[in-house]
Chains A and B, each alone.
Chain A
Amino acid sequence: MSTLNPAHPLGHAHSGDDAHTHHELSFVRKYVFSTDHKIIGIQFLCTTLLMLMVGGSLALGVRWQLAFPWKTMPIIGPLLFSSQGGVVPPEFYTMLFTMHATVMIFLVIIPILAGAFGNFVIPLQIGADDMAFPTLNMLSYWFMWPAIGFFMSSFFVEGGGAAAGWTSYPSLSAQAAAAPGSGAGQTLWLMGVTFVGVSSMMGSVNYMTTIINMRAPGMTLFRMPTTIWAMFITAILQAFALPVLTAAGFMLLMDRLVGTCFFTPGGLIINNAEPTVGSGQILLWQHLFWFYSHPAVYIMILPAMGMVSDMISTFSRKPLFGYKPMVYSLSAIAGLGFIVWGHHMFMSGMNPYLGMTFMLSTMMIALPSAVKTFNWLGTLWGGNIQFTVPMLNSLGFVSMFIVGGLSGIFMAAVPVDIYIHDTYFIVAHFHYVLFGATMFGVFGGIHYWFPKMFGRMMNESVGKVHFVLSFIGFNCTFFPMHLLGVAGMPRRLADPYNYPYLAHLLPMNQFMTYSAILMGFAQFLLLGNFFYSMFKGKKVGRNPWNANSLEWTAPSPPGHGNFDILPVVYRGPYEYASPLVEEDFLPQTRRLTPEQMAAVKPPATAH
C-alpha cells in the first residue's frame, strides 16, 4: 500500500495548500495545463456540462422535426437551411440524431463520470495526494479537445456531419457514396472516436494504478467507498473493451481511406457508384462495435451507481445495506457485461442459436441490477432520510433505474425483441438508464461534491427546482416513448407520419417535444447555480454533509496535495448511526480509544 505515495510530511503546517510545491504555479500551469487531479476533474466537469448543452440542443433539433415535421424551425431554421425554407432536410435529421448520441455518449456521459468524478473523487476518497501519473492525467483531458474539434468540424465539411447513427454500421459508414454524411464527416467522426478512446484509456490506466497502489494506510479494498469500487471496475472495463473499438475504428478507417475491405462485401452497388469488391463481413463491425459498446453501457452507469450508493447512505444516515453484495454485483455486471453484446444483434442475421445464449446471459445480467436496487431500498429502510438536493437526485436515479431496468427485460427476450427492436421502446429504455439514472446520479454528484470542489454550497432551493423540473420534463419526454415503441414507431425516421399506422401519434410527439424543451431550459438553472455558487455560494467547512469518507477530512477546497494531515483509516465508509459514538456519523479516520470501543451504547431511538 502507498508504494507510490511519496513520504508525506505529517502535520504539514499550512492547510494543505501547495503541500508539495512551495513555489507559486503560473496561471497556465495551475488552471489550464494543470496536473492536479482536482483541477483536471473540474476541467472535465465544465467541458462536459458545456457539451451537455450542445448535445441537448441537437436533441431538441430531433424533437422539433418529430413534433413539427417539415415546418420551418424557428430562428435557427432560416439561418441554417435558407435554401430549404428553414425546414430541417432529412439528411440533416440523420446527422442530428447521430451527433446527439455521439456528443452525449463520448463527450458527456463517459467523460463526466470517469473524467470529472473519477478524477476529482478517487485520490480524495482513497487518501492519496494525487493520481499515480499526473501528466498522463492532464493529457487525458487535453486529448478530449481534438475529439471535440473533429466532431464539431464534421458539420462544416462537404456532405456534413456523420449520419450513420452513433453505431456507424457499414456499409452506410464504410462507403462514401452511401449518404451525404458518409464522406469526410464520417472520417472525422472515426478520428474523433479514436481520440476519445485514447483519452479514456489514459484515464483508465491511471485510475487502476492509483487505486491499487496509492490507498492511505488502513484503506483496505473492502473499506473503499462504492464510488471507488465502481470507478475501479469501470477502469478495468475500459481497459479491456476499448482496444477492440479502437482497432475496429482503424479497420473502418482503412476501408474508407486505403481500400481494404474488412467490412465490405463485393458486388454492392451503392447509389450508382462502382460496384464494391472484396469479401468483407458487415456483421464483423457489429460484433466488434458492440463488444466495446455493451461494456461501455456499463461504463456509463456503474460509476453513477457507486456515487448514488454513497449519497443514499450518507443522507439516510444509515450504513449502506449489503456493502459486499453491492461490490459483488458491480463486479458481476462488469463480468457479464462482456458476454451480452449479441443482444444488440438479435435481428441482425447472426446465427439464431447465438440469440438464445445471448438471451440467457442478458437475463442473468438483470440479476445484479435487481440486487442493487433492493439494497438501495434496504438502505433507505429504517433510515433518517434527509431530502437534500443530492439525495433527491439519487432517489430520482433509483426510481428511474427501476423503469430502465425493467424495460430492458422486454428487449432481452428475443421473440419480443423481434417486434420492439429498433422502435422507440429501445429509445425509451436507454434514455431511462442513461439520462434518468446516470444523469440524475451526476446531478446529485455535482451538488454533493461541489462544496469540496469550491468550498461553497450550491443553492438548495434552485437545486430542488432544477430537480423537480428535470424529473417532470424527463418523464413526460421519455415515458411516452415506451408507448410509441409498442405502437411500432421505428427510430430514426425523419417523418414517421409517412406511415399511416403512425399518423395518429403526432400529438403525443408534440407533447414530448414541449416536455423536452422544459427539461432543456431547466438545465440553465443547473448551470446558473453551478457558476454563481462557484463565486457567491455560502462558504462551508470541511464536512458540510457530516459524511464519513476521506474527502471530507481534507480542506474545502483541498490544496495541491489534498490532505494537510495524512489520513489513516480505521473502518469502512458507511458507519452512520454507529452506537459507538454520540453523533450519527463516524468518519473513517476517527480513532476510537479502547474504552470507547468497549462502551457500546444502545442507539438512542430505534426505528
Chain B
Amino acid sequence: MRKAWSLFFLAAAVVAVAACWAAPGMHWWFPQKSPGGHAVSPLGNQIDDLFYLILVITSVTFIGTQAMLAFVLWKYEAAPGRRSAFTHGSHSLEVIWSVVPAGIMLFIALYQMDVWARYRIQSRFDPYAFEHPIAEVTARQFEWRIRYPAPGKTLQAKPQPDDLYTVNDFHIPLGRPVMFQLRSDDVLHSFFLPHHRVKQDAVPGMTIPVWFESTQTGEFELVCAELCGWGHYKMRGQITAQREEEFQEYLKKLSQSQFDDGVLAANAAGAQQAPAGEEKP
C-alpha cells in the first residue's frame, strides 16, 4: 500500500484531464450548430480563442502542480529513520513564483481588454448598427417581447403605432452587426445566446444596447440566464438568422399580418387588380 496515496491523488488529476480531452467528442463541449462547435459570430470566435488561451495556461499549471503534488507524496512518504529537511523557505523561490504568475495574469488581463471593449464600449460599436437598432427586446416573466420598427423606419424609444411585435421569436439579418435595446418589464432576466456567445442581463429601469453578428443562417436558442422566478426554466425564445432579403421580407409579412384588418388586404388586392385592368386594351 506504500505510495498508494500519491497514486490516488495522481489518478484524480489524470481522470480530470482525460475527461476534458474526451469532452468535445462526447458533445460535452461548446454547443454545436456548426462543425466543431465554433461560435456563429465573429466576436464569439474571439471569445472562444481567449477561452482556449486560458485553457492552455491553466492546463499546463494544473498538470504541473498536480504532478508535483503526486511526486512529493511519492518521494517523501514517511520512512523510519528519515528526517525532514530543515528549511524555512527560499527568498528567491518566493520572488520567482510571485513574479512569473503576476506577469502571466497581467498578460491575460491586458490581452482580454480589446474583445471586451468591442463587445460593450459604445464608442467601439459599429456606427451603422448603433444608429439603427433593429429592435427592442423586452424581457418579462416568462417571455421575450420583440418590438421592431416598421419597415423603412428607425426604432424610437417610445412605442410607435406602426411598430411590429412578436413574442419569443427574434429574427435578425445575417452578415452585418445588429444592435438591439434590451429592457425588462419586471425582474432581472438575462439575454443569452449560447451559440453566439452573447449574454447581457436585462435590468428593470435600464435600457442596455447589445450588439452581435450572426455568421450562419438558422434557428438558435435564446435562453434566460438570470433567475427570474418560478418559470425561469421555461423562458425560452428562438432567434432566427436569415439573409438580408429574407429578413426584409419577414418584416414586410409581419407588418401585413399585424395590420391586416381585412380592408387593407382588400385594398391591396384591388390596387393590384386595377392597374392590371387599365393596362388592358
- Measured CB to CB, the residues of A under 8 A from B are 89-91, 94, 163-165, 169-172, 175, 178-180, 265-266, 268-271, 279-283, 316-325, 347-349, 352-353, 355-356, 359-360, 363-364, 366-367, 370-371, 373-375, 377-378, 380-387, 392, 395, 398-399, 402-403, 406-407, 409-410, 412-416, 418-419, 421-423, 468, 471, 475, 479-480, 482-484, 486-488, 490-496, 498-501, 504-505, 508, 574, 576-579, 584, 603-607
5 contacting pairs across A/B (C-beta < 8 A): A163-B230, A282-B206, A352-B116, A363-B109, A384-B76
Other than A172-B229, A269-B185, A416-B47, give 9 A-B pairs with Cβ distance below 8 A: A265-B204, A318-B84, A360-B106, A384-B82, A385-B77, A403-B16, A414-B116, A606-B85, A607-B82
Evaluate contact between B233 and A487: CB separation under 8 angstroms: no
A228 to B227, alpha carbons, bound, how many Å?
39
Bound-state Cα–Cα, A370 to B76, Å: 22
With CB as the reference atom, state the residue of chain A lying closest to B140: A269
Q: In whole Å, how far is B21's beta carbon from the nearest beta carbon of chain A?
A: 11
Question: When the two chains form their complex, are residues B231 and A383 in contact, meaning their CB atoms are under 8 A apart?
Answer: no
Nearest CB of A to B80, in Å: 10
Q: Is the CB of B186 within 8 A of A383?
A: no
In the complex, whether B198 has a CB less than 8 A from a CB of chain A is yes
> Is B151 interfacial (CB-CB < 8 Å)?
no
The reply on B166 being an interface residue by CB < 8 A is no
Contact between A164 and B227 (Cβ–Cβ < 8 Å)?
Answer: yes
Chain B nearest CB from A392 CB (Å) reads 7
Complex Cα–Cα for A27 and B148 (A):
74
Task: Return the CB mask of B103-136 against A: 1 if under 8 Å, else 0.
Answer: 0011011001101110111000000000000000
Q: How many angstroms between the C-alpha atoms of A584 and B79 in the bound complex? A: 13
Inter-chain contact B73/A385, CB cutoff 8 Å? yes
Cα distance, A353 to B58, chains bound together (Å): 26
Known: A418-B197, A578-B86. A355 touches B94 (CB 8 A): no
Given contacts A384-B78, A607-B84, contact A495 B47 (CB under 8 A): no
The minimal Cβ–Cβ distance linking B98 to chain A, given in whole angstroms, is 6
Residues of A within 8 A of B72 (CB): 377, 380-381, 383, 385
Binding-face segment, B26-34, B248-256, B261-269: B26-34
How far is B84's CA from A577's CA once the two chains are assembled, in angstroms? 6
Q: Decide yes or no: A475 and B12 within 8 Å by CB, A172-B188, A321-B88, A488-B30 being known contacts.
A: yes
Q: How far, in whole Å, are A373 and B93 apart by their CA atoms in the complex? A: 13
Asked if residues A423 and B225 are in contact (CB atoms below 8 Å), the reply is yes
Q: Which residues of B contact A480 (CB under 8 A)?
A: 19, 28
A173 CB to nearest B CB, Å: 9
**Are A413 and B54 closer than 8 Å at their CB atoms?**
yes
Please give the number of chain B residues whose Cβ is less than 8 angstroms from any Cβ of chain A in the complex. 98
Query: What is the distance, in angstroms, from A445's C-beta to the closest C-beta of chain B?
Result: 19
Q: Are B223 and A490 in contact (CB under 8 A)?
A: yes
Query: Given A383, A407, A483, A576, which contacts B29 in the complex, CB threshold below 8 Å?
Result: A483
How many angstroms between the C-alpha atoms of A525 and B57 in the bound complex?
38
The minimal Cβ–Cβ distance linking A276 to chain B, given in whole angstroms, is 9
Which chain B residues lie closer than 8 Å to A178 at the CB level? 141, 186-187, 229
Instruction: Decide: B232 and A282 in contact? CB cutoff 8 A.
Output: no
CB–CB B86/A319 < 8 A: yes
Q: Beyond A364-B105, A387-B5, A422-B225, is A415–B27 a contact (Cβ under 8 Å)? A: no
A366 & B101 in contact (Cβ 8 Å cutoff): yes
A471 touching B115 by the CB < 8 A rule?
no
**Pair A406/B58 contact, Cβ less than 8 Å:** yes
Cα–Cα, bound, A271→B228 (Å)? 12
- The 8 Å CB contact of A495, one of B9, B50, B198, B233, is B233
A114 to B108 CA separation, bound complex (whole angstroms): 35
By the criterion CB–CB under 8 Å, are B187 and A399 in contact?
Answer: no
Asked whether A468 lies within 8 Å of B225 as measured between CB atoms, the reply is no
Q: Which of A170, A349, A370 gathers most chain B CB within 10 Å?
A: A349
Determine which of B106, B231, B233 lies in contact with A363 in the assembled complex, contact meaning CB atoms within 8 Å: B106
In the complex, residue of chain A having the shortest beta-carbon distance to the beta carbon of B107: A363
Complex contact B30–A487 (CB within 8 A)? yes
Contact A419 B228 (CB under 8 A): no
- B121, A352: Cβ atoms under 8 Å? yes
Interface centre among A170, A367, A385 (most CB of B within 10 A): A385
- A283 CB contacts on chain B under 8 angstroms: 203, 206
Kindly supply a per-residue 1/0 record for chain B positions 157-177, scoring 1 wherever the CB is within 8 Å of any chain A CB and 0 otherwise. 000000000000000000000
CB-based contact A406/B62 at 8 Å: yes
- Does B30 contact A493, Cβ atoms closer than 8 Å? no
Q: Which residues on the A side are within 8 Å of B102 (C-beta)?
A: 364, 367
Q: Which 8 A-B pairs have the closest CB atoms?
A: A265-B205, A488-B194, A382-B85, A91-B230, A352-B120, A322-B89, A318-B84, A577-B84
Residue from B81, B112, B117, B221 in contact with A416 in the complex, judged by beta carbons closer than 8 Å: B112
Q: Quick check: is B259 within 8 A (CB to CB) of the other chain? A: no
In contact, B86 and A603 (Cβ under 8 angstroms): yes
Q: Which residues of A contact B109 (CB under 8 A)?
A: 359-360, 363, 412-413
CB distance from A395 to the nearest CB of B (A): 6
Chain B hits for A266, CB < 8 A: 205
Give Cα A371–Cα B94 distance, bound, in whole angstroms.
7
A603 touching B83, Cβ below 8 Å: yes
Among the listed A383, A468, A574, A579, which residue makes an inter-chain contact with B76, where contact means beta carbons less than 8 Å apart? A383
CA distance A495 to B223 in the complex (A): 12
Given known contacts A364-B105, A500-B221, A605 and B199 CB-to-CB distance under 8 angstroms: no
B13 CB-CB contact with A under 8 Å? yes
How many angstroms from the CA of A175 to the CA of B44 in the assembled complex? 36
CA A409 – CA B105 in complex, angstroms? 9
Are A90 and B51 also in contact (CB < 8 A) when A265-B205, A384-B83, A421-B199 are?
A: no
Q: Is A498 in contact with B208, judged by CB distance below 8 angstroms? A: no
- Contact call B190/A419, Cβ cutoff below 8 A: no
Bound CA span A252–B94, Å: 46
Quick one: closest B residue to A476, CB to CB?
A: B15
Complex Cα–Cα for A353 and B116 (A) = 9
Contact of B205 among A169, A282, A419 (CB under 8 A): A282
- Do B234 and A495 touch (CB < 8 A)? yes
Q: How far is the CB of B231 from chain A (nearest CB, A)?
A: 7
In the complex the two chains form, is A415's CB within 8 Å of B82's CB? Answer: no
